[in-house]
């Protein structure tokens, strides 16, 4: 991430809902609760990362107003033997 993180940034990792309970608004509710708790503690922003193909999570975050930061590209150099 090239954006400079600020001292009052929090972050979340891995929001998960059991398969049989998905599509009922639980994932959204979990994120709303995390945002509410962060705000109540005086944080400036919550930062998260998404895998590009994860449409469900990207949709939830977009709906909640998460703004994209500059992309981070992972590289790999195969070590051939
Ligand atoms: C991502 C995840 C947490 C979503 O939980 P959920 O409870 O099913 O989500 P919600 O019911 O709150 O869905 C809210 C919105 O997300 C979007 N969405 C949810 N599932 C989707 C899917 N399979 N494809 C596209 N959009 C989807 C929709 O816009 C939906 O709104 P709508 O129901 O009004 O159409 C859940 O799918 C999950 O646990 N996935 C596996 C773990 C994971 O990949 N976590 C994220 C990486 S950290």
For ligand 1, is residue 56 a contact (CB within 6 Å)? yes
Alpha carbon distance 80, 61 (integer Å) = 39
What pLDDT shows up at residue 4?
Answer: 58
pLDDT greater than 50 at residue 1: no
Which residues span the domain enclosing 45? 26-66
Atom of ligand 1 minimally distant from the CA of 63: 29
The total number of structural domains in the chain stands at 1
What pLDDT shows up at residue 5?
Answer: 72
Count of beta carbons in the 10 Å neighbourhood of residue 77: 5
* 75 is a domain residue: no
SS3 45: strand
What pLDDT shows up at residue 81?
Answer: 86
Atom of ligand 1 minimally distant from the CA of 60: 16
For ligand 1, is residue 5 a contact (CB within 6 Å)? no
**2-52 confidence digits (pLDDT tens):** 345 788 899 999 999 999 999 999 999 999 999 999 999 999 999 999 999
Name the H helices within the chain.
Answer: 26-40, 55-63
* 60 is a domain residue: yes
Strand partners, 10: 46
């Amino acid at each position: 991430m090239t954006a400079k993180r600020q001292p009052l940034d929090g972050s979340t990792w891995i929001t998960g809902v059991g398969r049989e309970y998905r599509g009922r608004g639980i994932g959204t509710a979990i994120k709303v609760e995390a945002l509410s708790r962060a705000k109540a503690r005086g944080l400036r922003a919550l930062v998260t990362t998404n895998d590009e193909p994860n449409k469900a999570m990207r949709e939830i975050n977009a709906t909640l107003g998460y703004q994209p930061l500059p992309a981070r590209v992972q590289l790999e150099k195969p070590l051939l033997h």
